Structure 1
Amino acid sequence: MRTTPGALPVLLLTSCLLTTAACANSTSTGSSSQTTGASQKLAAAAREEALAAADGKKIGGKVTMLGINGGAEGKLIKDALKPFTDATGIQVDYTGNEDLATVVQTRVQAGNPPDVVDAADLGSLLRYAKQGKLVDLGSLIGTGTLKSSYPQSLLDAATVNGKTYGVFTEIDNFMVWYNPKTYKGPKAPATWAELEKFTKQQARAGKTPWCMAQNAGAGSGWPGAQWIENWFLKHYGAAKLTDWANGKLSWTSPEVTAAWKAFGAVATDSKMVAGGPTTVLSTSVVNNGTGLVSSPPTCSVMLWGVYAGGVTLSQNASLKAGEDLDFFPVPAGSPAHADDELFSGHVAYAFNDNPQTRALLKYWASAPAQSILVASGQWTEANTKIPASAYTNPLLKKASQQLLNGKNLVTGPSMSSSPAIVTAFDKGVVGYIQKPGSLSDILSGIQRIVSTG
């Protein structure tokens, strides 16, 4: 998921994302044995993959790796790296830092870049690739291997001038969440208009249809930014979203303005969002979906990322995935854009080309390595060869199938732009909810940041 300041990443991990019978039964002897056995098989497969990535040699040495995940999430990363070290003798010095972009930039400017970066944004990769600072992973891992393991749209997203510089690991998609026990609307709406019709009916009946929360400390507003990008993609398509993300479509364009106004028609209307705009701004993003599962519910639908399942279900141990919380794809404005899917996630890239780095990137891009991360119940991963059986979390399993099967995966400004633009986007969301009449000024301000580079 997109890591932001605050408690959200930690809560995601500690909540036991499964919150299902499988999770509840994990304390029993039989289930524990099965879990241990499955973990051992995954670790064995990962060690075998790691040794192959090192050409069958225990080459030793060390590789530095910087990532966005620290604390408990960082431990899961290290757990997935352990089979690599066991098999190859290569020590991976992994460090997680929420201010990753700044740390990497500082080291690059000092002439001491890390060997590998596992970043939560694509913009930094594209910038360093254009500067000629990154290793071509197509030649390192093999173009054929990448194409057989990843959707082409993911490879294209990390490609500059015909060379692929990054491989995706964690990958998040977006959906509309609801409570199957209380939701009365369409569970597979063919169009956005169909979903919108239901939400307006709810509002007229005095029932606020949308759940929404934007408070994430310094990162407040990012769920709204993702809402806007989803609406834009599903109404104008992948090509225009890419143009917007790349600065070719102005933030003041009619299309971008329409997406913001569609968001504003929900977020700034007390009849459309639970608690009204003030509550939207003051409520922690951790509680984004609380109204779906409260008794009685205070809202009916929520547009958010795959991580919403864990955050929402964690609030009550009796809640079950699929019974108390489920999702359907974000409906498109027209059938032409039904298969366009917004994504965010983590992408790994390398500054230094040496035997240790080569082995690590080959391993990190592989299905066995990513299967360990999947089995944690924390993330969906990008490699299409990960077996469905590796997913212990039914919601994540369903999300991965929705995301990786025949979809055209696209990133928006939140994933592809510079940190300055992303920050302005998030702050703009907050400012717009506070003062809806300021939209023109907000968009013009962000466009000035784009224009000045």
Structure 2
Amino acid sequence: MASCLAVLAAAVVVSARVLAHEPTVTLLANWTGGDARRFRTAVIEPFEREHGVHVDYQGSNAESQVLAADVEAGTPPDVVVLTGPGELAQYAGQKHLVPLEGLVRNADFAPSWTTTLDDGHVYWFPLKADVKSVVWYPADVRAQDRRRAVHQPAEWCLGMGSGATSGWPGTDWIEDILLQREGPAVYEKWARGKLPWHSKQVEKAWQTWRRLVGAGGDRDLVRRALKTPYGTASEPVRATPRGCTLEHQASFIRTRPAWKHADGRYEPSARLLFGAKTAHAFEVSGDLVALLHDTPQARELIRYLAAAGTQRAWTAGESGFSVHTGVRPGADGSAWHRSLEAALWDGGTAHCFDASDAMPPAVRDAFAEAAIEFLADPDRLEGLLRSLDTLAATRGLTWLPSVCDRTA
């Protein structure tokens, strides 16, 4: 009876909307559970009240697969929020995206966040950004203990699980090691498919990660990393005694219960891992908005999501950062959040987009799978790199024209 009533109630709502001719816009993103509820409260509901447009929101942890199926079926969402500019560039090349000229002001975002493709058009803009190239630790862990822990694989909180996208925490490690050791110019060359995977620089990054996290070593340690979801990898931080003390992860992880409990602090990975006095490069990621179906209500949603006020509302509560020029760093928030926000806006620091996210989807996915296989059996590295080189050389792949905002 309860099921029948639920179906009936849903039918009544749908019927009411049809009879009232309520305009609707469909939106696909990767926020689910509590994140989806916060997004609805902070962003969707104010839009619906202000514009009288219903937002049919779908959140999925397998967003790329859902979008690909919808596009193939000819029923794509009106608007999508994706983390991968490489994936969006592929859809743009296939004529599935609508250019954003006239909807988003060029002056509102730096060119590195609104990439102009080879056809001269811009197809996406960031709703939220996160800072990578950082290592988190509990507030009571002293500097000398952190530097000692770096070289002990068991001290790293590592979880490779992420459903359909498992493996990406490993790609983050390898990308960041390459960026910090070789610099933005080499990093961008590789992320754009111009530097072979079997090059000495890239191979050295994999081997460095092997030594840091003990790839192929302690079976129990490796098994734990392979089976643990990335979102719970930090849980041992609040155990007694602690099961791990360091986590190489993006800024969003600081809002997880374990790091709240431990009053998590961070060091730039360049400083902690490689002894650099300052960090001159940060890897960054973003939730990027694109338009697939050009309708009046979809255009309204695009303008709304690109507005400074919307971005400020969504990134409030330390859930991320806005890179909208109208949302400059402020005095609010915790010290760690203000510090990372300042690093994100520092004109003297290079900011390079997550390399795997910037790569064509096929290469991105193969990279993530290779990271999992390497962690289990690092002796397979040569074969993995050769396979990635073969895949990257496939004709017809779409590579971004740039990845870093500066490479000098």
Q: Secondary structure at the match of 1:103?
A: helix
Within a 5 Å distance, the mapping from 1:323-402 to structure 2 comes to 324-331=263-270, 338-386=279-327, 388=329, 395-402=336-343
Within a 5 Å distance, the mapping from 1:102-121 to structure 2 comes to 102-121=65-84
Aligned-pair distance for 1:404? 2.8
Q: Relative to 1, partners in 2 of residues 1:217 and 1:75: Cα closer, same or farther, differing over 3 Å?
A: closer
Aligned-pair distance for 1:249? 1.8
Q: Give the match for residue 364 of structure 2.
A: 422
Q: Relative to 1, partners in 2 of residues 1:283 and 1:95: Cα closer, same or farther, differing over 3 Å?
A: closer
Deviation digits for residues 145-204 of structure 1, max 9, x if unmatched?
xx3x32332223x644432211111212121112231233398xxxxxxx6xx557x65x
What is the aligned counterpart of 2:246 among 293, 296, 301? 301
Tell me, yes or no, if structure 1 residue 154 matches structure 2 residue 105. no
Tell me, yes or no, if structure 1 residue 165 matches structure 2 residue 106. no
Deviation digits for residues 75-118 of structure 1, max 9, x if unmatched?
22222122222222222222222232233233333444322111
Q: Give the match for residue 179 of structure 1.
A: 138
Aligned-pair distance for 1:348? 0.3
Work out the CA distance in 2 between the residues paired with 1:107 and 1:216.
22
What is the aligned counterpart of 1:262 among 208, 232, 240? 208
Q: Relative to 1, partners in 2 of residues 1:212 and 1:95: Cα closer, same or farther, differing over 3 Å?
A: closer
Residue type of the alignment partner of 2:352: V
Residue type of the alignment partner of 2:246: V
Aligned-pair distance for 1:409? 2.3
Q: Give the match for residue 60 of structure 2.
A: 97
Deviation digits for residues 9-48 of structure 1, max 9, x if unmatched?
xxxxxxxxxxxxxxxxxxxxxxxxxxxxxxxxxxxxxxxx
Work out the CA distance in 1 between the residues paired with 2:164 and 2:69.
21
Work out the CA distance in 1 between the residues paired with 2:67 and 2:223.
37
Conserved? CA contact 1:107–1:113, under 8 Å = yes
Q: Relative to 1, partners in 2 of residues 1:138 and 1:97: Cα closer, same or farther, differing over 3 Å?
A: same
Deviation digits for residues 339-386 of structure 1, max 9, x if unmatched?
322112210011233432222111101121012212254333332433
What is the aligned counterpart of 1:225 among 161, 165, 171? 171
Q: Give the match for residue 186 of structure 2.
A: 240
Higher deviation after alignment, 172-181 or 133-142: 133-142
What is the aligned counterpart of 2:36 among 67, 74, 81? 74
Q: Give the match for residue 24 of structure 2.
A: 62
Kindly report the root-mean-square deviation, in angstroms, between the aligned alpha carbons of the 2 structures: 3.3
Aligned-pair distance for 1:401? 2.7
Q: Relative to 1, partners in 2 of residues 1:449 and 1:419: Cα closer, same or farther, differing over 3 Å?
A: same
Conserved? CA contact 1:232–1:256, under 8 Å = yes
Q: Relative to 1, partners in 2 of residues 1:246 and 1:316: Cα closer, same or farther, differing over 3 Å?
A: closer
Q: Give the match for residue 49 of structure 1.
A: none
Tell me, yes or no, if structure 1 residue 211 matches structure 2 residue 157. yes
Tell me, yes or no, if structure 1 residue 439 matches structure 2 residue 381. yes
Q: Relative to 1, partners in 2 of residues 1:347 and 1:391: Cα closer, same or farther, differing over 3 Å?
A: farther
Work out the CA distance in 2 between the residues paired with 1:266 and 1:438.
18
Work out the CA distance in 2 between the residues paired with 1:277 and 1:219.
19
Q: Give the match for residue 401 of structure 2.
A: none
Aligned-pair distance for 1:125? 1.1
Deviation digits for residues 241-278 of structure 1, max 9, x if unmatched?
2332232222222221111111011122699x996434
Higher deviation after alignment, 414-423 or 286-295: 286-295
Q: Give the match for residue 191 of structure 1.
A: none
Identical positions, percent: 25
Q: Relative to 1, partners in 2 of residues 1:390 and 1:129: Cα closer, same or farther, differing over 3 Å?
A: farther
Deviation digits for residues 274-305 of structure 1, max 9, x if unmatched?
96434333444234334444443444432111
Conserved? CA contact 1:169–1:348, under 8 Å = yes
Aligned-pair distance for 1:127? 0.9
What is the aligned counterpart of 1:87 among 34, 37, 50? 50
Aligned-pair distance for 1:393? 5.8
Deviation digits for residues 320-343 of structure 1, max 9, x if unmatched?
6xxx31002221669799332211
Conserved? CA contact 1:130–1:160, under 8 Å = no
Q: Secondary structure at the match of 2:158?
A: coil
Q: Give the match for residue 230 of structure 2.
A: 285
Q: Secondary structure at the match of 1:307?
A: helix
Normalising by structure 1, we get a TM-score of: 0.72
Tell me, yes or no, if structure 1 residue 405 matches structure 2 residue 346. yes
Q: Relative to 1, partners in 2 of residues 1:177 and 1:366: Cα closer, same or farther, differing over 3 Å?
A: same
Q: Secondary structure at the match of 2:179?
A: helix
Q: Secondary structure at the match of 1:171?
A: strand
Aligned-pair distance for 1:432? 1.2
Residue type of the alignment partner of 2:225: V
Any gaps of 5 or more consecutive residues in structure 1? 1-59, 188-194
Residue type of the alignment partner of 1:96: G
